[in-house]
């Protein structure tokens, strides 16, 4: 039998969806308090409802406990302080142009403005960028991987899963930081956690309880208007 079709849109559901999608943000300062395992499991269960090509569900999360995250943080900071260049499994963009460059610049300016960092202050900008490798002080990190054999569409499916994870976490009061910066050292990260070459690292997601009063958590990025991202023909 065919699964029952969705109910007609309910105003209440739409309101919740709007509120969640517009209040989620990338957190960059955390409280050290760990998140209970059952909360993490509930978030992953919701994210696991994500659609994927042939229902392959190619995503996998390796979630580090608070203790394991501490060990990883120390090792990563040590590694990133010396390692140069990109050692990712998936190719990093070489250049951002046009709209993409503008949006990237705007997000960066808002971040630095919130922290009172002058555009010309390269030292503080670099220090803030290095915060990625301190996992912004988060008590947990999830390493997101896909099977290498499934190709780019597994990354597409995984991106949708990541989006659902961020939203489900937010709905549970858990703040998140998706971080491609960690994938810059993918081989190191995979070795640290014993993940073999048969998997590609897509990104890390640091998560925990947000430090609400921290200025880095008190700015919003903008979004392109619908006309810019969609064309009806």
Q: Which of 180, 188, 209, 214 binds ligand FMN (CB under 6 A)?
A: 180
Binding span for ligand FMN by CB under 6 A among 44-52, 88-96, 115-123, 178-186 = 178-186
Longest dimension (CA), the chain: 63
26 in contact with ligand FMN (CB under 6 A): yes
Q: Which stretch binds ligand FMN (CB under 6 A): 34-42, 47-55, 60-68, 174-182?
A: 174-182
Q: How far is the CB of 20 from ligand FMN (least distance, A)?
A: 12
* Residue with smaller CB distance to ligand FMN, 23 or 67: 23
- Per CB under 6 A, contacts with ligand FMN among 129-168 are 132
**149 C-beta neighbours (distance < 10 Å), count:** 10
Q: How far apart are CA 208 and CA 103, in angstroms?
A: 27
Sign of the torsion formed by the C-alpha atoms of 114, 102, 164 and 64: negative
* Binding residue for ligand FMN, selected from 20, 25, 61, 156, defined by CB under 6 A: 25
**Quick one: DSSP state of residue 206?**
E
CB of 8 to ligand FMN, least distance (A): 29
Q: Is 148 left (phi over 0), alpha (psi -120 to 50) or beta?
A: alpha
Residue choice 203, 210, 211, 216 for contact with ligand FMN (CB under 6 A): 203
Q: What angle do CA 203, 204, 208 make, to 5 degrees?
A: 150
Question: Across-strand partners of 175?
Answer: 208
* Interface with ligand FMN, residue 208, by CB under 6 A: no
Q: Which residue has the tokens 């099977």?
A: 147
**Residue ranges that bind ligand FMN, judged by CB under 6 A:** 25-26, 107, 132, 178-181, 203, 221
């Amino acid at each position: 039998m065919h699964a029952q079709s969705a109910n007609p849109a309910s105003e209440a559901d739409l309101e919740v969806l709007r509120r969640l999608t517009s209040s989620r943000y990338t957190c960059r300062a955390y409280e050290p308090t760990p998140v209970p395992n059952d909360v993490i499991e509930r978030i992953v269960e919701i994210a696991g409802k994500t659609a994927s090509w042939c229902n392959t569900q190619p995503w996998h999360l390796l979630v580090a406990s608070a203790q394991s995250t501490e060990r990883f943080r120390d090792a990563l900071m040590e590694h990133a302080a010396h390692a140069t260049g990109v050692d990712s499994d998936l190719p990093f963009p070489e250049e951002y142009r046009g709209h993409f460059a503008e949006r990237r610049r705007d997000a960066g300016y808002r971040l630095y403005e919130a922290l009172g960092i002058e555009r010309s202050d390269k030292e503080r900008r670099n220090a803030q960028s290095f915060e990625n490798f301190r996992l912004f002080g988060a008590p947990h990190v999830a390493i997101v991987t896909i099977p290498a054999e499934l190709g780019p569409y597994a990354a597409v499916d995984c991106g949708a899963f990541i989006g659902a994870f961020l939203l489900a976490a937010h709905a549970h009061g858990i703040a998140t930081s998706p971080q491609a910066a960690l994938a810059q050292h993918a081989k190191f990260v995979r070795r640290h956690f014993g993940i073999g070459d048969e998997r590609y690292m897509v990104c890390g997601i640091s998560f925990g309880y947000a430090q609400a009063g921290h200025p880095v958590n008190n700015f919003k990025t903008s979004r392109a208007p619908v006309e810019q991202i969609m064309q009806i023909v």
